[in-house]
Structures are given as structure tokens and as C-alpha cells.
Structure 1
Amino acid sequence: MRTIRLHEFGAAENLRYEAVADPEPGAGQVRIAVEAAGVHLLDTALRQGIEGGPMPLPQLPTIPGREVAGTVERVGPGVEESWVGRRVVAHIGQAPGGYAELTVTEAERLHEIPEALDAGAAVAMIGTGRTALGILGFAEIGPETVAIVPSAAGGIGTLLVQYLAAARATVIGLAGGKAKADQVFENGADLALDYLDPSWPDAVRARYGDRPATLLFDGVGGEIARAGVDLLGKGGVRLVFGWSGGRVEFDERELAERGVTSQTVLGSPMLERAGGLRALETRALAEAAAGRLRPAVHRFPLADAAAAHRALEGRETTGKVVLIP
């Protein structure tokens, strides 16, 4: 099969398109003919050899990728033959191997793809979709909500904007550049702003000065997070799920005096909720199949994985990035 392998930590160019032996499913596993493989920002950090993240560095050489959709073509011992020929999607967990024409994973991780979804959308929902719904589970949302969504043109941001708009919340979406901001507005935001323009907080105050923000969905950190927190009113909540713009610390006493709270929701807080990640995956696929959530998908050929990494790191993508073998 053809795959992408990383032999040395470093630049995106270290991702090589190579031929390797086909993997064989072990006990309790299936082999999937991959139609789409997800690319996550975490993949770019692991590729660089950055330690200290939510996953350990892989042993090299490695085939990156942990989200796949395709058709089951072979099963291992102990797995029902009825899985063969079914279109499935899976988050394959700690074990990488998604950037390939074929991959193996445990049968217990599989979800059958709803007929309404293509492989790219299914991959988006099994990872990004479950995370978006998990984040939303920590918020009370309704017509009185005024929510700020940085990186609103990204995979998670796109789904957050749609969900909030459907709940009749007031949605302020931020994106890098006018073109992305226009997409955010078309996706349902009430106000869509280019965060590269440092005056964006003034535009928010000019529009909603009498209605301070109640929620900040912070997957970015950095100066955008600081500006977003400044826009929160008494009782406002910052939900933290990433720091692509840099980690930022706030004076807890100052936040308390303002009546603002900050909570990190990834990791244990999300894993410990009823049903865990599996329940979120099931719900995410159902929401997309019903058309209530519509993931944006940015596709690259498998052979162009390096270009996909560069585009993701350069914030040149919209929605979920997937590789197509």
C-alpha cells in the first residue's frame, strides 16, 4: 500500500509518500480501505517532535493520523464477518496509522457511516464534531447568550457557530482575513470580524456595547484570548480547549472580582462526562446526518500530506483538513 511515513522529527517535508507492506488485522481488529484520513493540528506538533502535549511522541518511523473513514475489507479473529463491506469511520486512538491507503483498528471503535455523509464529513465529525459537542456540553446556551468564537472558520469553530446560531444565541465569529470572516458570516454568525485587524474588539463594543459577551470559546489563547476576556461581562465564562496562539495566564483574583470564570474542558473534564467520547461520536454523526451540523472539509491528496501540514500551520485552511488516498 501507499502511505505517509515520518522517519525524522522536523519540517513538513519530512513526511514521505512511500510504499509499505499491507497491515494485517489482529484479534478483535479490522482492516479498513481508507477513503479519507483526518489531519489534526496535534499531528503537526508530533511531527516536529514537540513534547508535553496530550499524546506521547511516536516511535519512528511512524505513519501519522488517528481519524479514518472507509470500507472494512478484512477482519481479524473474533470479529464478525458481517463487518466486511460496510462503510465505517473510527477514531483509532493513541495508535497512529491513518495517513495510508489501508489501516487497522479495533472493531469496537467502529461506527457505521450514515448514508447521508461522505467519508470526509464522517472523519470531520468523528474527531472535530465530538470535540465541538463536548465543549458545548459545558455551556448553557439560549437567546440571551452572546458568544465569541475565535478561529470560527476552523473545523471546531464552524460547528460551534452553526450550533449557537440554531440556538438563537448572538454569535460573534473571528477569523484570520476578510475572506474567512465572510465565510463565518455566511455560516450563521451575527457579526464576523477579521482578528488580524487589532481594532476588532472596538467593533464588537460598537455593535454590542450594551450587551457584554457571556461566553468565550477559546481554542486560540494569546492576545485574542486576552481581548475576548476583556469583552466578557459579569457572570461571563471562558471555555478553554486550545492555545494555538500561545498559552495565556490571567489573574484569578481579577477575574473573580469581575465575576468571570475560566475552565479548561479538554482531557479529564470531557472524558468523565456521561457516555464519554463514544457517546459524543455517535451524537456528532447523527447531528451531521440530520443536517443540523454541516462540517466544512478541506481536502488534500494523500501524497500531498506535507502541503496539508504547511497549510494548517499557516492558517490557510478552512474547516477540517482531510487526506484522500
Structure 2
Amino acid sequence: MHAIHIKEHGGPEVMEWTELPDPVPGPGEVLVRLGVAGVNFMDTGARGQGAPGWAAPLVLGAEGMGHVTALGEGVEDLTVGDRVAWFYHRGSYAELLAVPAASLVKVPDGIPDETAAAVMMQGLTANHFTTETYAVKPGDIAVVHAAAGGVGLLLTQLIKARGGTVIGLVSREEKAAVAREAGADHVLVSSGGGFEDRIMELTGGEGAHVVYDGGGTETFRSSQHSLRRHGVHAYYGPVMGVPTLRPTDMPRSILLSYPTMFDHVPTREALVRRTGELFDLILAGKLTVRIGGRYALADAAQAHRDIESRRTTGKLLLLP
């Protein structure tokens, strides 16, 4: 089989289309032939500088869907031919994967392959943000960074479904229409900080109830100053930098959260339940996944260049 392999960390040029031995499923694993892999911004961090569990050499990618082709010992709830999806399995930029059965969910009939791959990581992230990080209620005002991106578009739809108002931030004027199409009530063009005054104007001087901030160190302070008293700053931008912070710098008694998806789906039961919620919304026509670009798996380096350029909207996918 072939996969996108890196021997050392660096720019997209380190990504190589490499022939590797076919994996063999061990006990509790299944062999999956990749149907679609999702591209996430965290993939660029794994490529560029690595992270715990992501030290080179390695195969990149963490998300996708595919078809079960073989079962390891002890696997009873899956069969050959099942369509399955996963949100975090290291080495997903590969034609074949040996994946723990407990990490897989069955894809319902009516959910296209591309949608299943596109909604897993970013959909679970958006579900986490709007239910447990801050449970959005009717009338709440939420600020969504990168509102035309994969997470931002799903976040906007889930906030609106829960009765909230969305102030979306986009980096370029041409992205504003995409954010509005997803349901954003207001869209501001901002490529960094300095947006807090406009948010205060839109909220009558009160500030937002929650800011979902994946913008990194440039947006961190402005996000905090966009919040009302006891508002929640959900910061999920470590790939863009980790800011220094003194507790006394935080205004208006706000709350700071660094939400991670593993705390949202810590068990198999939680994974099945949360993905089921997303699939149900899609089947009901209440959640739409926008595909922003499709690339051959062998051309994954170009997908990385494009997502890092900040010119893309929606979800980028790799097709074997």
C-alpha cells in the first residue's frame, strides 16, 4: 500500500508518497481500506513540529472513513464490507489502516462517504463546544473565529440550532458570504486582533457569552475583551501558538477553557452517542458539511499548503 510518510518534521515538502507494507489487523483491530481522509489544521502541526505521539518518522493524518476488509481476532460487532468512520487514528493518510474496532463507528445509510469523513473530528469538536464547553441557550451570543472554515461552519449551524446568535469572524471579505450562508447573523472581517470594539457595539456594550477562538496568540487578548462578565473563552488554537497569561490579566471575571475532544468522547459509549447526534442532524437536514476542496491522497502536500494559506473554506478531503 501507499501512504503519506515523513522522515523529518518540516514544511509540506517533507511529505512523501511512499510504498509501505500492508498492515495486518491484530486482536481487536480491523483492516480498513480508506475511502476518504479528512485534512485538519492539527495535521500541519504534526508535520511541522510534531507533538506527543507524532514524532517523525510517521504517516500523517488522523481522520477518515473507509470499508472494513478484514477482521482481527475477537472483533464481533463489525463485518467485512461495513462502512466505518473514525475521528482520531494516527496514520490515516494511507490506503490501508489497521484500526482498533473500538475507535470506529458505523456510517448510517444516507450519509455519503465524504460527509462521514468530513464531520468526524470537526463535528465532534463543534458538538463539544456547544454542549459541554459552553451549553448554548436561546438568546446567547457567540463569537466564532474562522467562521468560514470547517469547524466554524459546523459551529455556526449548531449554535443556531440551539437558538443562539452568531458573530462570525473571517480573514477575507470573500469568505463572508460563506459564513452568512451557514447562518451567521453578523460577519466581521478581521485577520488578527482588534475586533473587540465592534463586538461590543453589536452586543450593546455587554459582550458575548462565549468566544470560540482558534486564532492563536494574535486573537487571544481581543477574544477575552469581547466577553461579558463571566463569559467563556474557549481557546483551541495551540497550533497557532500558546499565549502567556497571568490570571490577573483576565477581564470581567471571565472563564478560560482549553477544550479537548478526548474529554468529550472519553468512552466508547460517548463516541457512539455523540457521532449519532451528528449523523441524526445531517439526516434531518439540520447540519450541512461544506466540502472546500478534494485532492488525491498522493497530493496531500498541496492540501497542506492550501489550508495553511488561510484561503480555503469548509473541509478539505483526500481521496485515494
Taking the aligned partners of 1:82 and 1:211, their CA distance within structure 2 comes to: 51
2:205 paired with 1:220 = no
Q: Does 1:66 align with 2:66?
A: no
What residue in structure 1 maps to residue 45 of structure 2?
45
Residue aligned with 2:142, SS: strand
SS of corresponding position for 1:142 = coil
Aligned twin of 2:91: 97
Contact 1:222 1:248 in 2 (8 A): yes
Instruction: List runs of 5+ in structure 1 lacking aligned partners.
Output: none
Structure 2 portions without partners, runs of 5+ = none
Aligned partner (choices 248, 270, 290) of residue 243 of structure 2: 248
Would the alpha carbon gap of residues 157 and 9 (structure 1) be closer, same or farther in structure 2, given more than 3 Å must change?
A: same
How far 1:30 sits from its partner (Å)? 1.3
Quote how far apart the aligned CAs of 1:121 are.
1.4
2:106 aligned partner = 112
Partner of 1:281: 275
Shift of 1:146: 1.1
Distance 1:237 1:295, change over 3 A: same
1:67-216 equivalent positions in 2, closer than 5 A:
67-80=63-76, 83-93=79-89, 96-136=90-130, 137-196=132-191, 200-216=195-211
Match of 1:162, as an amino acid? Answer: Q
Which amino acid is the alignment partner of residue 109 of structure 1?
S
Letter matched to residue 177 of structure 1: R
CA deviation map 1:191-237 (0-9, x unaligned)? 01111286644443443334521111122232323222212122322
Deviation at 1:255, TM superposition (A): 3.1
Return the alpha-carbon distance in structure 1 between the equivalents of residues 195 and 127 of structure 2.
27
| 2:287 corresponding residue in structure 1 | 293
Contact 1:184-1:192 within 8 A present in 2 as well: yes
Distance in 2 (CA, whole Å) between partners of 1:140 and 1:73 is: 40
Q: Which moved more, 1:245-254 or 1:120-129?
A: 245-254
2:88–2:121 Cα contact (<8 Å) kept? no
Secondary structure at 2:153 match in 1? helix
CA shift in 2, pair 1:80/1:267, >3 Å: closer
Task: Give, in whole Å, the separation in 2 of the partners of 1:175 and 1:243.
Answer: 19
Q: CA RMSD in A?
A: 2.5
- Quick check: 1:146–1:214 contact (8 Å CA) kept in 2? yes
Q: Distance in 2 between matches of 1:239 and 1:106?
A: 30
Residues 123, 245 of structure 1: CA spacing in aligned structure 2 closer, same or farther, 3 A cutoff? same
Task: Give distance in 1, aligned partners of 2:156 and 2:261.
Answer: 22
Residue 305 (structure 1) aligns with: 300
Aligned counterparts of 2:240 and 2:310: Cα–Cα separation in 1: 11
Q: Distance in 1 between matches of 2:241 and 2:84?
A: 36
* Inter-partner Cα distance in structure 2 for 1:235 and 1:8: 44
Do 2:193 and 2:219's aligned partners in 1 also have CA atoms closer than 8 Å? Answer: no
> Quick check: 305-314 or 274-283, which moved more?
274-283
Structure 1 residue 251 displacement after superposition = 4.2
User: SS of the residue aligned with 2:30?
Assistant: strand
Aligned to 2:13: 13
> Structure 1 CA distance, aligned partners of 2:83 and 2:178?
31
Deviation at 1:291, TM superposition (A): 2.6
Matched position secondary structure for 1:83: coil
- Distance between the aligned counterparts of 2:43 and 2:282, measured in 1? 24
TM-score normalised by length of structure 2 = 0.89
Report the residue type matching 1:2 in the other structure: H
* Structure 1 length-normalised TM: 0.88
Question: Is the 2:124–2:261 contact (alpha carbons within 8 Å) kept by the matching residues of 1?
Answer: no
1:244 to 1:192, Cα distance in 2 relative to 1, 3 A: farther
What does residue 26 of structure 1 align with?
26
Q: How many residues are matched? A: 318
Q: 1:167, CA displacement in angstroms?
A: 2.1
Which residue identity is paired with 2:53? P
Contact 1:38 1:323 in 2 (8 A): yes
